[in-house]
Amino acid sequence: MTPRPIIIDTDPGTDDAIAIWLALASPELEVLGISAVAGNVPLPLTERNARKVCELAKRPDMAVFAGCSRPMLRPLVTAEAFHGGSGLGGTDLPEPTMPLQPGHAVDWLVDTLMAAGDGEITLCPIGPLTNIAMAIVKEPRILSRIREIVLMGGGFFAGGNITPAAEFNIYCDPHAAHVVFNSGVRLTMMPLDVTHQARTSRERIAAVRAIGTPVGVAAAALMASHGKREAQDRDKDGGPLHDPCVIAYLLQPELFGGRHCNVRVNTASEATMGMTVVDWWGVTDGSKNCTVMNRIDADRYFALIVDRLARL
């Protein structure tokens, strides 16, 4: 079977790291490259963390590019409280020796997509959408080359995690999200409504740690660190493992369920800045621009992560 070509756009980020490892461990996917963006922590850290993660998975050959260091219009808001000052809280991965690729990630995204066939490449943004939106604005012709954008971001009935109304990736760069959600590209969205059902636990973390490899031990430490920090529901065990949902969907879409809806991003009022307005009940005549996921088989999701990370 021909592997599905994907690009991961990311702000590592404890959960981003696990998403990257899941993709690198899965022969169903061909990771064409990784574009780093400012988000959880500033760009110098996200690009370095992306290289640390690739090297730990014995993939020093992976092309990692640095992208935008701030959102399109708003000042950068980071999330060290959730991810630690380094962005990879709970671990001390070796400094990378693999090089950062020369050139800007946005230019690499445009060049790679323009060289691709129609509908050939799947984009997997798991951080703020700045790089993706800038590439679309710079060269709109890339849209025909994109098979699908599967993104982690947003929320509807689950509300927000950085403000009461907004999820971090969308809140961080709401104008970029507006560009992406209005691009007309096939969109699949993993909002908090689904990722909050995919929570780590002592047992789930222990299963990852039991893999016993450097990746397994590091992944367990990242999950434990993130779980402690993202105490969304203090009575709930563990934190939501957001970003690997994007990769898991590409590998086993049957683990997920959702609905085709109209989704708009608020960029007008500060109180609800970055809110994803999901017309779940179809009460408007807005075009259904996105498949919004709200169900996951969490046990099979974590089993997939253990199975695949053990291969690295």
Interface ranges with Ca ion (CB under 5 A):
11, 13, 16, 126-127, 243
Stretch that binds ligand RIB, among 53-61, 139-147, 167-175, 210-218 (CB under 6 A): 167-175
Least distance in angstroms from the C-beta of 260 to ligand RIB: 23
152 in contact with ligand RIB (CB under 6 A)? yes
Q: Decide the pairing of beta strands 290-296 and 256-261.
A: antiparallel
The Cα 312–Cα 310 span in angstroms is: 6
> Out of Ca ion, ligand RIB, none, which partner does residue 161 contact, by CB within 5 to 8 A per kind?
ligand RIB
> Is 47 among the residues that bind ligand RIB (CB under 6 A)?
no
Q: Reply yes or no on whether 260 is catalytic.
A: no
Q: What is the CB neighbour count within 10 angstroms for residue 162?
A: 18
The binder of ligand RIB chosen from 7, 8, 9, 15 (CB under 6 A):
15
CB-based contacts of 159: which residues, under 8 Å, 6+ apart? 165, 192
Question: Among 86, 91, 122, 169, which residue sits at the site for ligand RIB (rule: CB under 6 A)?
Answer: 169
Does residue 88 interact with ligand RIB by CB under 6 A? Answer: no
Using CB under 6 A as the binding rule, whether residue 249 contacts ligand RIB is answered as: no
Instruction: Return the residue of 6, 9, 16, 275 that touches ligand RIB, per CB under 6 A.
Output: 16
Q: Which of 26, 35, 40, 225 binds ligand RIB (CB under 6 A)?
A: 40
The identity of residue 271, as a single letter, is: A
Binding piece for ligand RIB, criterion CB under 6 A, among 55-63, 141-149, 164-172, 183-191: 164-172
Q: How distant, in Å, are the alpha carbons of 9, 112, 129, 175 from that of 181?
A: 16, 21, 10, 10
Q: How far apart are CA 170 and CA 149, in angstroms?
A: 15
Candidates 161, 188, 266, 276: give the one binding ligand RIB (CB under 6 A). Answer: 161
Please say which residue, 13 or 238, places its beta carbon nearer to ligand RIB: 13
Reduce the DSSP state of residue 147 to 3 states and report it.
strand
Q: How far is the CB of 2 from Ca ion (least distance, A)?
A: 28
Is 127 one of the binding residues for ligand RIB (CB under 6 A)?
yes
Q: Catalytic: which of 178, 196, 226, 242?
A: 242
- Residue 202, classed as helix, strand or coil, is helix
| Binding segment (CB under 6 A) for ligand RIB, from list 11-19, 50-58, 84-92, 173-181 | 11-19
β-bridge pairing 290-296 and 187-190: parallel
Considering the complex, what minimum distance in angstroms separates the CB of residue 287 from Ca ion? 27
Single out the residue of 2, 87, 1 nearest to residue 48, CA to CA: 87
Q: Cβ(152)–Cβ(20) under 8 Å?
A: no
Instruction: Look at strands 290-296 and 4-10 and give their pairing.
Output: unpaired
Report angle CA 88, 94, 98 to the nearest 5 degrees. 105
User: What residues contact residue 21 under an 8 Å CB cut-off, 6+ apart?
Assistant: 53, 57, 215, 219, 308, 309, 312
# binding residues, ligand RIB (CB under 6 A):
16
Closer residue to Ca ion (CB): 150 or 262:
150
CA–CA separation, 277 vs 263, rounded Å?
5
- Phi first, then psi, for residue 13 (nearest 5°) are 110, 120
Among 39, 67, 238, 239, binds ligand RIB (CB under 6 A): 39
Nearer to ligand RIB, 166 or 208 (CB): 166
| Axis-axis angle for helices 202-209, 298-309 (nearest 10) | 20
Indicate which residues carry an active-site annotation: 242
The site for ligand RIB (CB under 6 A) is made up of: 11, 13, 15-16, 39-40, 79, 126-127, 152, 161, 167-169, 242-243
